[in-house]
């Protein structure tokens, strides 16, 4: 039995799809073990270095980045960076002395997991996607437990280590009041509302297609909550300015996603693991536009896991400029299809995912 308070390192990041599950795991562990000491490890220059402290946790950065898809000077330096990061992670482990390490994916996950497993420290991977990431596949034989969000993951991982938990999602995401939501965003209860989210970093294709469709949405009497991401916000704000009175709103980042989902009749979204899990939990009818710029095209595989169960619609990134808003307006005008998609997607939710993952983590530490 490991003495309490527990000491846990959570490593990884890069996007909200890695960071928010990591914070959810930390919050649940702290809820159960208020004295637990939790340290995050991320990659310098990535968004976890600001998001994690905002959530109230300490984070240490490693100088690590991913391999580029083409030959670059950075790729030549990659082995050196990995070696240095593993060495720094090792020193960090020796000073912090964790009872267990959790990897959630992202650049910083690999060095910490390599250093931990080489020292016999219990290690757990949380794989968010339906198609396993390269780092997690490579490390799967070294770690003790692998928590996954989809069935059939034994094609990537040792079956004896797998636990189907679902993805950690903030449970409050599904608790928003529609009345409060419409008031919060200044929208009318008499109109349909469309929510467009391109992930924590934004999505060029979704933003361009949405900008081109603003007049169509106004003519159709549809309201819009449009999360653009930081990079695209200045231009999108200008494009939406003349449509504000019609309830078409461009926002850099939506902090109250519970209210955004509560307000929405239909959601257009990328198909990152976190977004898909939130759609399942909220039961929202959606059109998924997978990003083509991700490793192993895992967003398409995430989307197909829903589409094959008639739980979402899919428009490819290439089709989005011409087809996306035809589909969106058709779905908004079809309450029966909305209801069918909503019923089916709710069946895929794992509302107790975070609890199940922390159960596995505590069991690992208790056995160590």
Q: Are residues 315 and 214 in the same domain?
A: yes
Q: Tell me, what's the pLDDT at 79?
A: 59
Domain assignment present for residue 265? The answer is: yes
Q: Has 235 been labeled as part of a binding site?
A: no
Q: Has 43 been labeled as part of a binding site?
A: no
Q: Are residues 43 and 17 in the same domain?
A: yes
Q: Give 192's strand partners.
A: 222
Q: Tell me, what's the pLDDT at 203?
A: 87
Q: Has 223 been labeled as part of a binding site?
A: no
Q: Has 294 been labeled as part of a binding site?
A: no
Three-state secondary structure call for residue 40: strand
- What strands, in cross-sheet order, belong to the sheet with 162-164? 58-62, 37-43, 7-11, 100-103, 123-127, 145-148, 162-164
Q: Are residues 64 and 157 in the same domain?
A: yes
Q: Are residues 245 and 263 in the same domain?
A: yes
Q: Are residues 184 and 139 in the same domain?
A: no
Q: Has 165 been labeled as part of a binding site?
A: no
Domain assignment present for residue 254? The answer is: yes
Q: Are residues 151 and 216 in the same domain?
A: no
Domain assignment present for residue 2? The answer is: no
Q: Has 120 been labeled as part of a binding site?
A: no
Q: Has 95 been labeled as part of a binding site?
A: no
Q: Are residues 31 and 127 in the same domain?
A: yes
Q: Are residues 158 and 176 in the same domain?
A: no
Domain assignment present for residue 355? The answer is: yes
Range of the domain at 36: 7-167+351-367
CA atoms of 280 and 284, how far apart (whole Å)? 7
Q: Tell me, what's the pLDDT at 69?
A: 47
CATH number at residue 282: 3.40.50.2000
Q: Has 11 been labeled as part of a binding site?
A: no
Q: Tell me, what's the pLDDT at 63?
A: 86
Q: Are residues 362 and 297 in the same domain?
A: no
Q: Which of 209, 249, 252, 208 is nearest to 225 (CA)?
A: 249
Averaged in consecutive runs of 10 residues, what is the pLDDT profile of the chain (368 residues)? 79 85 95 96 92 95 66 54 82 97 90 96 95 88 96 94 93 89 97 89 87 98 95 94 95 93 97 93 97 84 95 97 98 98 96 96 92
pTM: 0.84
Q: Has 140 been labeled as part of a binding site?
A: no
Domain assignment present for residue 61? The answer is: yes
Q: Are residues 162 and 227 in the same domain?
A: no
Q: Has 277 been labeled as part of a binding site?
A: yes
CA atoms of 220 and 331, how far apart (whole Å)? 13
Q: Has 176 been labeled as part of a binding site?
A: no
Q: Tell me, what's the pLDDT at 255?
A: 87
Q: Are residues 325 and 281 in the same domain?
A: yes
Domain assignment present for residue 1? The answer is: no
Q: Are residues 182 and 47 in the same domain?
A: no
Q: Has 170 been labeled as part of a binding site?
A: yes
Number of domains in the chain: 2
Q: Has 278 been labeled as part of a binding site?
A: yes
Q: Tell me, what's the pLDDT at 66?
A: 55
């Amino acid at each position: 039995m490991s003495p309490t308070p527990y000491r846990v390192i959570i490593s990884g990041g890069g996007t909200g799809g890695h960071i928010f599950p990591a914070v959810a795991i930390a919050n649940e562990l702290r809820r159960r073990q208020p004295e637990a000491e939790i340290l995050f490890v991320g990659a310098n220059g990535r968004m976890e270095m600001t998001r994690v402290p905002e959530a109230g946790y300490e984070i240490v950065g490693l100088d690590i980045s991913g391999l580029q898809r083409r030959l670059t000077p950075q790729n030549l330096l990659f082995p050196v960076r990995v070696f240095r990061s593993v060495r720094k992670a090792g020193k960090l482990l020796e000073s912090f002395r964790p009872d267990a390490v959790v990897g959630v994916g992202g650049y910083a996950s690999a060095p910490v997991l390599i250093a931990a497993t080489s020292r016999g420290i219990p290690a757990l991977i949380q794989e968010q996607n339906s198609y396993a990431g390269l780092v997690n596949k490579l490390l799967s034989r070294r770690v003790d437990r692998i928590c996954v969000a989809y069935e059939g993951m034994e094609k990537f991982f040792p079956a004896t280590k797998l636990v189907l938990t679902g993805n950690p999602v903030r449970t409050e995401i599904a608790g928003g009041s529609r009345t409060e939501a419409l008031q919060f965003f200044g929208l009318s209860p008499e109109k349909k509302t469309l929510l467009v989210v391109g992930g924590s970093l934004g999505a060029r294709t979704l933003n361009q297609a949405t900008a081109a469709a603003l007049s169509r949405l106004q003519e159709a009497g549809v309201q819009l909550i449009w999360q653009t991401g930081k990079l695209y916000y200045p231009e999108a704000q200008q494009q939406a300015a003349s449509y504000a009175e019609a309830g078409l709103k461009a926002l850099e980042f939506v902090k109250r996603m519970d209210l955004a989902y509560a307000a929405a009749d239909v959601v257009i979204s990328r198909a990152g693991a976190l977004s898909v899990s939130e759609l399942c939990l909220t039961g929202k009818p959606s059109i998924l536009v997978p990003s083509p710029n991700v490793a192993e095209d895992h967003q398409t595989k995430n989307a197909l896991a829903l589409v094959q169960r008639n739980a979402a619609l899919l428009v490819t990134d290439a089709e989005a400029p011409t087809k996306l808003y035809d589909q969106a307006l058709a779905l908004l005008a079809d309450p029966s299809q909305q209801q069918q998609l909503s019923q089916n997607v709710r069946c895929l939710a794992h509302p107790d995912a975070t609890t199940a993952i922390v159960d596995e983590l505590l069991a690992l530490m208790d056995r160590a």
